[in-house]
Each structure stands twice: as C-alpha cells, then as structure tokens.
A and B are shown apart, each in its own frame.
Chain A
Amino acid sequence: MTQHHETLAHLFLDGDEEKALDYMNELLHEYSRAYLYESVITQSMYYIGQLWERNEISVADEHLATAVCDFVLSTLKEEKPIKRTRQQKALLFGVEKEQHYLGIKMVAETFKEQGWRVRYLGPDLPLEHSLTQIEKFKPDVIGLSAALSYRLPTVKELIRRFERLEWKPFIMVGGRMASKFDLNEFQSDRVMVVKGLPHLHQWFKEGRDGVINETS
C-alpha cells in the first residue's frame, strides 16, 4: 500500500494547507471518507507523534501540523447527509484541559454525514459550560473525548453528572485514552466506550447489541 498518511503528514508539517487539501480531495475520489479519517488523517497525526518521539521534529512543528490538519478537516468537501425523518442530536466536546481535538472533530463530521444534528463544542470545555449547552440542546448522544490518562478523574465526574440528566442521553467516551487504556469500568447500558472511528461506524450500522440505537 502507498503510504498516504506519511505523504499527508509531511504536507501538514510543511504548513502547505493548499496542497494538503488538494491531496485529500484527490484521495476522496478513490476512498470513502471514513477510510480517509481513520487510515489517513488519524494515522498521519500518529506518525507526526512518532516523529516527535524520534526527536526529528519539535512541538512547534506539531502545532503547525495540527492547525493545517484542522483547516483541511474544516474545508474538505461536504458530503450529502443521509436524509432522516426524525433528526437525532449529538453534542460533542473534548474534556477540560484536553487540547487534543482532531479526533472528536472527525467524530462530529461523521455524525453529520449520518444525518444527525451536531453541536461540536471544541476541546478544553469546563464541566459547567458543557452542562449549560447540554441543557439547552438536549442531545440524544453526548460524546466526550480525552487523550491523556490525567483526564480520567474528569471523565468519571462528567459521566456521573450526565447520567443524572432526566431525558437519559446516551454517553459516549472516546479519544486516544479509550483505545489505550481499559475503560470497561465506565461501561453501562447508557455509557459506551468508543474505540475509534470504525467502532463508531459499527454502532451506526448495528447499534450496540442492536438495541441502544433504536431508543437513543
């Protein structure tokens, strides 16, 4: 396989947003958006992380790459959402102090493609702020994302608070933390740990054991 993610990573690191966008739009002819998110964009950012670990790039380079990647995600041609009769709502954000947000941004795009109404509130969102938005928007799904293990206590607290909401929204926990650590203790009939975009797609298709999707 050609190393699309490495090519893209170097375009990100060069700060060449035009070329990066062209490259992605070209790949869109050949591959599905889901594939690009998971196997090209996500992998390119992991690859950039590895370059930093290998002492080949600096944090400043990483920030530039993140900004360019963000731009590409925002500018990438929109896909026509599937028509739904009753529109479901999802509210998504990165937990307080969490600065990693590209993953949850792709999750937001994925929900939109599935015809959901989406509120993506960005990273580093304080608890009270998220609660205000949630009360206002009354989402069917609340998705929260965290990358580093330091956020575990925050995630725990958020779940505890969201479980008390009276309309019983479905809570999804994702981010690198979810694929790296065992978060099974968080799982319940209303809380699901999402281990990456393919897992989310599977949920859209099959629901969670085929039940949750119908009720949420």
Chain B
Amino acid sequence: MKRVEHTFPLPFVTINKNYKIQTYSKEAISLIGEHENLLEIMDEASVMKVKDWVTPEILKASVEVHLQAMDDEEDLLTADLYVKWNNDMYAEIILMLKDEKLTKVTKTLNQLRSRLNDTNFELLEEKEKLEEAVEQNNQLSAPFIILNEETALIPLFGDVSEEKMYSIETQLLQKSQEGEVDTLLFDFTAVGDLQRSGVSVLLDVMTSLSYMGAEITFIGVQPAQAKQLKEMSLPQEIKFIGSLKTAIQKFC
C-alpha cells in the first residue's frame, strides 16, 4: 500500500479485485484512517452492497454506502463511491461524503419525531387519568341499594352507553348473587339518552340476571325511552312499574 500525492484533492483509493487497498490519498486517510481492505471500513449492512456493485463486471459505478464511524461516538457516515475499473484487477475509487444538508435534514427529522413523541406522551398520561375517572364514574352510576331481604333498588344514572353497561355488569352480577335478593328494581328516572348499543348490553345483563333467578322490574321509564325500548326485543321476564313510589309500596 503506498501513499500517492499527485491526485485529486479528494478521498481516493485504488483497490484490487479482493478489495485490498493498493494506494490512497491524504484525504482518504483523514476520512477513513489506515486500513488494509476497503470492506473493513464499511458498515455491516453495506458490505454486501459493495460486493455486488464494486466488481470488475461493472466497469463504472456510483454506489451509495454507509461507512463505519472512525470515532465510536459518531453516527454512520453516508458516502457515494465512484468506481472505475482500469482492468480486471484494479479499480480507482473516489469516496464522496454526502452533502451535509442530508445529515442536517435527517437530524432535524429525528428531533421533530422525538418532540412529537414527547408531547404525545404527556397527552397520553392525561388521557389515561381521564379514562380512569370515566371508568370510576361509570361504576358509580348503578349503585346497588338493598331495600329488604328480597328486594334491591338499582337507580341508573346518566346515558345508557355500551361502555358504561360493560363496567357495571360485573358488579351487578356479583352483588345480586351475594345476597338473598331476588327482586331487582331498575330505576330509569335519572337516565338520559338510551344508546342502542348500550341498551343491547343492558338487556344481555338482564338476561343473565334472570338466568340467575332474579325478577326484574323497570321503573320510571320515560315516554321517549319507552319508544326506544319497544324497538328492541325485551326479554319477556321484565316487568314495568310507573313510579318508584308504587314499586316501593308493592315490594316493601
């Protein structure tokens, strides 16, 4: 391997077909350091690419590769190799580092992406807190109030949504099994909107409850809600009473 002085002011090497470096310019040394073989300075993912493209079968080639950083702290260097084979044995190669603009754009992109991720992260924390609050709220919107040994009152609060019905399902089934209670009064007085998907879950819960032997009565269903309920097919077992007062008089 010998140093050549009279060449372009560029990182320049000549290699043989085994990629052994034959000559190099001063600029090449400062870019890649002293190495016996061209493949040694390539990033692991670029070695195959060099083997495929820097070969005597391709007389002239320009190939983009990644060079291993000389210093451990640095990122990989992207460079273009301009290759010209003089004959089957030797090739001249100029190594041109990529324009700094590319590196700058890459770095900016990375920074923007991590900024975006940071912001999302804070939002996520808030979102999770909110979800927890909603879940807690949902669970509190169907309190199980025991009136006497056989009867319990469950006033429902707010809109009947699918999500809410799922979150009250478990505790309803559990509580009605725990006690001796077999009459369940669901009070609709404080219910807002009946969402179709929510009602369908609610009816599933009713069916489960009646399988467990409970008698179910809906109380205080408002006219608009009655219309909506009519459109769904209610289980036969469900009874209806107009007001809480009548219901309490009947069951207590």
Contact of A63 among B48, B105, B117 (CB under 8 A): B105
Q: Mark A36-67, 1 if CB is under 8 A from B, else 0.
A: 00000000000001001111001110010001
Q: Decide yes or no: A59 and B78 within 8 Å by CB, A70-B113, A122-B117 being known contacts.
A: yes
Contact of A120 among B44, B64, B117, B166 (CB under 8 A): B117
Q: With a CB–CB cut-off of 8 A, which chain A residues contact B61?
A: 55
Whether B53 is near chain A, meaning CB under 8 Å from some CB there, is: yes
Contact A122 B128 (CB under 8 A): no
Q: With a CB–CB cut-off of 8 A, which chain A residues contact B78?
A: 59
Whether B251 is near chain A, meaning CB under 8 Å from some CB there, is: no
Whether B63 is near chain A, meaning CB under 8 Å from some CB there, is: yes
Q: Decide yes or no: A60 and B102 within 8 Å by CB, A53-B48, A120-B117 being known contacts.
A: yes
Whether A4 is near chain B, meaning CB under 8 Å from some CB there, is: no
In the bound complex, what is the Cα–Cα distance between A213 and B27 (angstroms)? 57
In the bound complex, what is the Cα–Cα distance between A54 and B51 (angstroms)? 11
Contact A148 B45 (CB under 8 A): yes
Interface centre among B109, B117, B121 (most CB of A within 10 A): B117
Contact A67 B49 (CB under 8 A): no
In the bound complex, what is the Cα–Cα distance between A99 and B113 (angstroms)? 11
Q: With a CB–CB cut-off of 8 A, which chain A residues contact B75?
A: 97
Count contacts on B: residues with CB < 8 A to the other chain: 26
Within 8 A of A (CB), among B101-115: 102, 105-106, 109-110, 113-114
Whether A7 is near chain B, meaning CB under 8 Å from some CB there, is: no
Contact A53 B52 (CB under 8 A): yes
Contact B117 A83 (CB under 8 A): no
Q: With a CB–CB cut-off of 8 A, which chain B residues contact A117?
A: 128
Query: Can you name the residue of chain B whose Cβ is closest to the Cβ of A53?
Result: B49
Q: With a CB–CB cut-off of 8 A, which chain A residues contact B52?
A: 53-54
In the bound complex, what is the Cα–Cα distance between A59 and B61 (angstroms)? 17
Query: Can you name the residue of chain A whose Cβ is closest to the Cβ of B125?
Result: A119
Q: With a CB–CB cut-off of 8 A, which chain A residues contact B117?
A: 120-122
In the bound complex, what is the Cα–Cα distance between A55 and B50 (angstroms)? 10
Contact B64 A55 (CB under 8 A): yes
Whether A216 is near chain B, meaning CB under 8 Å from some CB there, is: no
Nearest-neighbour CB distance to chain B for A198, whole angstroms, equals 24
In the bound complex, what is the Cα–Cα distance between A172 and B164 (angstroms)? 35
In the bound complex, what is the Cα–Cα distance between A123 and B99 (angstroms)? 25
Contact of A59 among B98, B113, B121, B128 (CB under 8 A): B98
Query: Can you name the residue of chain B whose Cβ is closest to the Cβ of A99?
Result: B110
In the bound complex, what is the Cα–Cα distance between A150 and B74 (angstroms)? 13
Contact of B121 among A119, A124, A148 (CB under 8 A): A119
Contact A59 B102 (CB under 8 A): yes
Whether A149 is near chain B, meaning CB under 8 Å from some CB there, is: yes
7 further A-B contacts with Cβ under 8 Å, apart from A55-B53, A59-B78, A59-B102, are A54-B52, A60-B105, A67-B113, A83-B166, A121-B117, A124-B114, A148-B45
Chain B residues with a Cβ under 8 A of chain A: 44-45, 48-49, 52-53, 61, 63-64, 66, 75, 78, 98, 102, 105-106, 109-110, 113-114, 117, 121, 124, 128, 166, 170
